[in-house]
């Protein structure tokens, strides 16, 4: 049995959805103003940069990102068209594909980060005390899948 949430809880839910949407719009806006690609490009590039080998199998990249398989496939088409990643065959599993970050991809990731960090600072960090951040983190952990 699940109880009906209280008015306050519903209000907070609504606020969460809206505030998060506002925040993401502001951050995406800052990236756009700087002439940079959207956050989701950064997410992919970051996962690849984190790998010492600079590559991940498609399925592993997919597992890390909250993105449907076909969406990732199309996103990689665009990244590849911009030469930020390259797809390579997997030697011992002919079904598989590696996704490799290119040198250009690494440079774009590096250019995005300071702008993204600045946006996080302005729109998020600067509004909260470190106590707030701690509390929020605890709450988010309770909500996690």
10, 33, 63, 90: which one contacts a second copy (CB under 8 A)?
Answer: 10
> Which positions from 43 through 62 interact with a second copy, judged by CB under 8 A?
none
Structure tokens that stand for 10 in this block: 């519903």
60-80: b or e for each residue (b if 16 or more CB lie within 10 Å)? Answer: ebbeebebeeeebeebbeebb
Which spans of this chain sit near DNA (rule: CB under 7 A)? 32, 38, 40, 57-59, 62, 68-78, 87, 90, 92-97
Structure tokens that stand for 29 in this block: 């806006």
User: Which three-class secondary structure state does DSSP give residue 85?
Assistant: strand
In whole angstroms, how close is the CB of 105 to a second copy at the nearest point? 20
User: Does residue number 127 form part of the binding site for a second copy (CB under 8 A)?
Assistant: yes
Distance CA 112, CA 144 (A): 27
Residue 1 or 94 with smaller CB distance to DNA: 94
Considering CB distances under 5 to 8 angstroms, the limit depending on partner class, which of a second copy, DNA, none binds residue 95?
Answer: DNA
Residue 65 or 86 with smaller CB distance to a second copy: 65
Considering CB distances under 5 to 8 angstroms, the limit depending on partner class, which of DNA, a second copy, none binds residue 48?
Answer: none
Distances (CA, A) of 10 to 1, 3, 7, 68, 143: 18, 12, 5, 28, 15
Positions that interact with a second copy (CB under 8 A) = 2-6, 8-13, 15-25, 66, 117-118, 120-128, 130, 132-145
């Amino acid at each position: 049995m699940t109880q009906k949430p209280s008015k306050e809880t519903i209000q907070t839910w609504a606020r969460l959805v809206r505030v998060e949407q506002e925040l993401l719009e502001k951050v995406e806006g800052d990236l756009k103003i700087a002439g940079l690609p959207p956050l989701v490009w950064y997410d992919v590039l970051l996962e690849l940069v984190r790998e010492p080998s600079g590559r991940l199998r498609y399925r592993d990249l997919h597992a890390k990102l909250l993105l449907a398989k076909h969406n990732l496939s199309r996103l990689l088409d665009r990244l590849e068209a911009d030469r930020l990643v390259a797809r390579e065959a997997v030697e011992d599993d002919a079904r598989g594909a590696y996704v490799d970050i290119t040198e250009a991809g690494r440079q774009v990731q590096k250019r995005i980060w300071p702008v993204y960090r600045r946006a996080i600072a302005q729109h998020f960090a600067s509004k909260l005390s470190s106590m707030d951040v701690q509390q929020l983190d605890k709450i988010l952990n309770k909500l996690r899948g």
